[in-house]
Amino acid sequence: MRAFIAREAPHVSVISKVETLGYHRLSQREQQFLSAFFDAAQVLPVSQSVVGAAIRLRQERSVSLGDALVAGTALAYDLPLATHNTSDFAWIDELRLLDPVSEDR
């Protein structure tokens, strides 16, 4: 994962930041590492184009609000979506997926 982050210019959805740092079982070490990552990343807002993409995705398939907004952010900003849960997003044909865990191997 660290090699992937070092290679890629990190852009993240504000939704990913909330979901990740808001997880109630993070250790102090994980919290510090992730906070540093998000501080170094460009955090992308929920814009009208993100909302439009998320609505379209939710109209196509039953998908959580968080996943729709994260995928909508990648689509609206024309960025690949980095996730280890690629199967959750594989149905979105126009979405480019990267698995940061597999990329390091």
- What DSSP string describes the chain? -HHHHHHS--EEEHHHHHHHHT-TT--HHHHHHHHHHHHHSEEEP--HHHHHHHHHHHHHS---HHHHHHHHHHHHTT-PEE-S-GGGTTT-TT--EE-HHHHT-
The sign one gets for the Cα dihedral 37, 102, 67, 89 is positive
Q: What's the fold here for domain 2-103?
A: Rossmann fold (3.40.50)
Per-residue pLDDT of the chain (105 residues; tens, 9 = 90+): 556 565 666 789 999 999 999 999 999 999 998 898 888 889 999 999 999 999 999 999 999 999 999 999 999 999 999 888 999 999 999 999 988 778 654
pTM of the entire structure? 0.83
